Chains A and B, each alone.
Chain A
Amino acid sequence: VSANVLAAQRPPGRSIAAAEVTLIDLVDRLLGAGIVIQGDVTLAAADIDLVNVALRLVVGSVDSVGHDLRGQIAARAS
């Protein structure tokens, strides 16, 4: 099972790179969804700044980090 299987099926020639879309989807889900455990037993949950992290990661992926990410995705898809 890979989170990139469907993203990789996009027709070529579209403007947004599949890798970027996948990263945005990843950030949305891992930082914006999932079970949230809260209470006195929790040291940390859901207090990570979603918007700032998302911006940092996504902007990063467009520039320098993009290359690494696409490498990872290629590795995951194979």
Chain B
Amino acid sequence: MPVYLYAICRADRAECANGESLGERVRIVTSNDLAAFVSDCSGVPVASETSLWDHERIVEALMATRDLLPARFGSVLESDLAVDRVLADRRSELTDALRHVAGAVELGVRAAWTTAAGEHRPEDQPRGGLAYLRARAADQERGLQIAAELDRAVGAFVRDGRTRISAPVATLTATYLVVRSQIDRFCKRVELLRDQLPDVELTCSGPWPPYSFADPGAR
């Protein structure tokens, strides 16, 4: 029977303690010192707001009491045996990845600023391709500046991080792996930066399961 994969953790942390309930559907497949949280399913789920939140809710509940590697939405394997094979085949890299995320959560920061390329400036009319490219470059430059400011602000409180700049819409998406005890400090630094950069809209989200730091292949 096909199984839907939610997350992977160390086998000795998989069992539920003190009244924690996995719910009716979720169960544990163990292979050596690794374990996977799965549920029986009939096929690949459709991605909708409801199904995405369902996945998220289950992974968040599991994350409350253990370190884990969250699976991408829609990961369906053909059987428990297949799950066992994946855990065995990738044991070494999964173990390393679990060590990397231990005790930490993922925090997201989005920054948006007034775009130079998208601005309508009648005095410049007609704007040629060169003017547009210059504006795009200016957006990219501003994004790099903001990314540097952000890294300076929170760098001391994070274990890992990555940043993506999208020049056409003048936004920066950053995501950080933060040890739980540092979450408050991280948030305070973002607050301070918000005051220092009044032209930039900064938004935090989280704490998330460490999706962006879970796949060893992606690092």
Interface residues of A (CB under 8 A from B): 1-7, 9-11, 14-16, 18, 21-31, 33-37, 39, 41-48, 53, 57, 60-61, 65, 68-69, 72
Q: How far is the CB of B183 from chain A (nearest CB, A)?
A: 9
Q: When A43-B76, A48-B73, A69-B49 are in contact, do A33 and B205 touch as well, CB less than 8 Å?
A: no
Partner of A39, one of B86, B108, B203, B218: B86
A25–B205 touching, CB < 8 Å: yes
Q: When A27-B52, A43-B2, A53-B47 are in contact, do A22 and B74 touch as well, CB less than 8 Å?
A: no
Interface residue B75 (Cβ < 8 Å from any Cβ of A): yes
Q: How far is the CB of B62 from chain A (nearest CB, A)?
A: 10
Q: Beyond the given A1-B64, A37-B75, please list 12 additional residue pairs across the A-B interface where CB-CB is below 8 A.
A: A5-B207, A25-B205, A26-B52, A29-B106, A29-B209, A31-B72, A34-B215, A41-B79, A42-B75, A42-B78, A43-B76, A46-B75
25 sample A-B contacts, Cβ–Cβ < 8 Å, listed by A number? A3-B205, A5-B206, A14-B203, A21-B205, A24-B110, A25-B108, A25-B205, A26-B52, A29-B209, A29-B212, A30-B211, A31-B47, A31-B72, A33-B215, A34-B75, A34-B214, A34-B215, A35-B8, A35-B72, A36-B215, A37-B77, A41-B79, A41-B86, A65-B49, A72-B53
Within 8 Å CB of A16, what residues of B? 112, 201, 203
Interface residues of B (CB under 8 A from A): 2, 5, 8, 43-44, 47-49, 52-53, 55-56, 60, 63-64, 69-79, 82-83, 85-86, 89, 94, 97, 105-108, 110, 112, 173, 187, 194, 201, 203-209, 211-212, 214-215, 217-218
B78–A41 touching, CB < 8 Å: yes
A35–B82 touching, CB < 8 Å: no
A30–B55 touching, CB < 8 Å: yes
Closest residue of chain A to B213 (Cβ to Cβ) is A33
Partner of A42, one of B70, B77, B203: B77
A1–B207 touching, CB < 8 Å: yes
Q: How far is the CB of A49 from chain B (nearest CB, A)?
A: 9
B78–A33 touching, CB < 8 Å: no
A10–B85 touching, CB < 8 Å: no
Q: How far is the CB of A34 from chain B (nearest CB, A)?
A: 4
Within 8 Å CB of A26, what residues of B? 52-53, 56
B203–A10 touching, CB < 8 Å: yes
